[in-house]
Amino acid sequence: EGPGELAAALDELDRKIIMDPLTFNEVRSRPSLEERVESIISGAALMADSSCTRDDRRERIVQECNAVRQ
């Protein structure tokens, strides 16, 4: 995994999030969207764990990922 996979996960979420509000079905759509968000969070966590990520950036990435999960 790496930045390319994170970018791909963001692109996929972007494609999935565009939907017709009249045909939206939460039971069907929500799990798929949550899965994409978790994939993005996992990619961000990998970037945070990188040796070249500054400590202040690492902390911010972790904080924002936790905020998204809530």
DSSP letter assigned to residue 52: T
- Quote the pLDDT of residue 67: 95
In angstroms, rounded to a whole number, what is the distance separating the alpha carbons of residues 70 and 55? Answer: 23
Q: Where are the domains of the chain?
A: 3-69
DSSP letter assigned to residue 51: T
Reduce the DSSP state of residue 20 to 3 states and report it.
coil
Specify whether the CB–CB gap between 47 and 6 falls below 8 A: yes
- Quote the pLDDT of residue 1: 54
- Quote the pLDDT of residue 6: 85
- Quote the pLDDT of residue 4: 83
**Distant-in-sequence contacts of 18-24, Cβ < 8 A, 24+ apart:** none
The predicted-structure confidence for 2-56, as pLDDT tens digits, reads as follows: 668 888 889 999 998 999 999 899 999 999 999 999 999 999 998 899 999 999 9
